[in-house]
Chains A and B, each alone.
Chain A
Amino acid sequence: MLGILKSLGMTARAALRKPVTIEYPEFHREIANRDRAFPILIWDFEVDEPYCTGCHACERACPVECMTVVMKDNPKHASGESKRRKIIDEFWIDYGRCMRCNICVEVCNFEAIGMNNTWAGHELSRYDRSDLVMDLDMLLAQSKEKKVEPGLRA
């Protein structure tokens, strides 16, 4: 009988505590700085072009082969504005395949790719699976508008 009374007392005490629910979408939980949502590309504001040169390092290292990279000659290099000989032409990441393992960030030689650590990286619901394939503009959008500062860039 005592155990039963103990359980009843426990639930009575728990009923008086504050609920731990965070009511999404009015309130959002704070995410850590190192949160790994999905990869995005970083924009270089000094030279006004992406950091990414299209070297295929991340494409080779990806375990699920979710990236497609095409590079081109950098027109800004010929005119002397930028030190990058090649620049990224087209870049697709299939967010439906990406497993968010951070290996692309680790192997990048130019620190051109980072993990989105904002809520926008998590709120990516789409009605069609093929809408999850992000192209270069979509990947650069958040960094161009200075909305995100990725945490781990090792």
Chain B
Amino acid sequence: MTDVILGAPMVDELGHPFVSALLGLIVITLVMTVAVMYGTWIERKVVARIQQRLGPTRTGPLGLLQPIADTVKLLTKEDLRPATADRITFEAAVFAIFVPAFLAFVVVPFTADWVIAPLPLSLVYLLAISGLSFIGFLMAGWGSDSKYAFLGGMRAAAQLISYEIPLILAMVGVVMIVASADVYDIILYQDKVPLIVWQPLGFFIFLVASIAELERQPFDIPTGESEVAGGVFIEYSGIRWSMFQLTSYVNMYVLSLLGAFVFLGGWEWPFGRDIGWGYQLLLTVVKMGLFVVFYLQVRATFPRIRIDQMMSYAWKVLIPFALVQIFLNGLVLVYDLPDVTLLITSGLATAAMVWVVYQSVRMTPREPLQMVSVPARSTV
């Protein structure tokens, strides 16, 4: 599929593309803000169910007004700034993180006809934009003039940069197969079989790298609650802090959408393009929801990885195996092997990666506990 379809913007009876795009942007921003607020509600409910308790229940029926209550509280809080903080860096850091996250929605095709700006290189644009956010973390860490924030900022920068690479390499593998860097084309390619079948290793690497990009458990060292007590965001309060939190959820939605489009088939699989925009939107939301629930479950289940283990995992395991995936893709494409070879080789490589991780963690064989059961000595 090489013909690029200029997706018609949502409000096209206006005729003027600039105004239509602007309207689309406004709608997306509003909808996404509300969606992100209710993302916090979903998170609290899902994590609470995993922990066998109820989430918010009192504010409104089923706690549905809880995000609104949180927003009102954060809006009315005093905006503190440490006296010794570097003013410009401190205040601009929030925007440096917040803006790129929303910019990513410009190229996301929610259904077959709803794209604000259909770029021929939309995947490159998405990955580049989401890679900008680490500057904001560094600025926040440096500008706060606090030891904890500084530590958190350094850790955040190291983590984000390291895990960008496997993420991009997994996408490179997909681009090689589809022969196009447009998200729209990748979705159209998957009309028979979703790409997760051909690229299980790429999917796995994408999954792990995306959790690290989002800074969620088990990779949430920059915002490590028990050690550096909030890390980079420790000096922010009120609306600025809430912008950081919302950005985390916006990023989660962006990466979930990316995963749903690239690996699960988006709105194309399994029913094709002719079912109307309602069902397409529903499919998109459902597939995105699967990713979101997975991220939430992982958050509630795993402890935190230490920073050096995390770094070695990225550089010694994920990147080599991502390169292996690219190599395998290249072999299949050059020698024109049937598609099923991709599945077999990629699946074997996934198994190899799992085995490598298994071996490295259990490298030193541990003998189990000894159970000493001597009879008690008689009482003195």
Contacts and interface: CB of A to CB of B under 8 A. Distances in A.
Contacts of A154: none
B300 interface: yes
A23 B54 contact: yes
A90 to B, nearest CB: 43
Interface stretch (B44-52, B72-80, B239-247): B44-52
Nearest to A4: B302
Nearest to B351: A1
B298 interface: yes
B335 interface: no
Contact of A19 (B46, B53, B354): B53
Interface string A3-15: 0100110111011
Contacts of A129: none
A12 B54 contact: no
Given A1-B354, A1-B357, A20 B53 contact: yes
Which of A1, A10, A20, A23 is most buried by chain B, counting CB atoms within 10 A of its CB?
A1
Given A1-B357, A23-B57, A15 B49 contact: yes
Contact of A8 (B52, B54, B297): B297
A126 B50 CA distance: 36
Query: Which size class do B's interface residues fall under?
Result: 10 to 19
Nearest to A8: B301
A19 B301 contact: no
B130 to A, nearest CB: 26
A19 B54 contact: yes
Nearest to B51: A14
A150 B301 CA distance: 45
B301 A11 contact: yes
Contacts of A130: none
A2 B361 CA distance: 12
Contact of A11 (B53, B57, B300, B358): B300
Contacts of A125: none
Contact of A1 (B46, B52, B297, B358): B358
Contacts of B297: 8, 11-12, 15
Given A1-B354, A1-B357, A1-B358, A8 B53 contact: no
A11 B46 CA distance: 11
B298 A19 contact: no
A7 B302 CA distance: 8
B50 A21 contact: no
Given A7-B302, A8-B298, A12-B297, A19 B57 contact: no
Contacts of A11: 50, 297, 300-301
Contacts of A12: 50, 297
Interface in A13-60: 14-15, 17-21, 23
Contacts of A18: 52
Interface string B30-61: 00000000000000001011111110010000
Contacts of B301: 7-8, 10-11
Interface in B344-380: 354, 357-358
B296 to A, nearest CB: 10
A21 B358 contact: no
A21 B53 contact: yes
B50 A15 contact: yes
A23 B54 CA distance: 9
B176 to A, nearest CB: 27
A18 B52 CA distance: 7
A56 to B, nearest CB: 43
A132 B197 CA distance: 69
Contacts of A21: 53-54
B52 A14 contact: yes
A19 B302 contact: no
B84 to A, nearest CB: 40
B358 A17 contact: no
B63 to A, nearest CB: 12
Interface in B274-307: 297-298, 300-302
Contacts of B302: 4, 7
B233 to A, nearest CB: 27
A2 B48 CA distance: 25
21 contacts: A1-B357, A1-B358, A4-B302, A8-B298, A10-B301, A11-B50, A12-B50, A12-B297, A14-B51, A14-B52, A15-B297, A18-B52, A19-B48, A19-B49, A19-B52, A19-B53, A19-B54, A20-B52, A20-B53, A21-B53, A23-B57
Given A7-B302, A19-B48, 17 more contacts: A1-B358, A2-B358, A8-B297, A11-B50, A11-B297, A11-B301, A14-B50, A14-B52, A15-B46, A15-B297, A17-B52, A19-B52, A19-B53, A19-B54, A20-B52, A21-B54, A23-B54
Lowest 3 A-B CB distances belong to which pairs? Answer: A1-B354, A11-B301, A15-B49
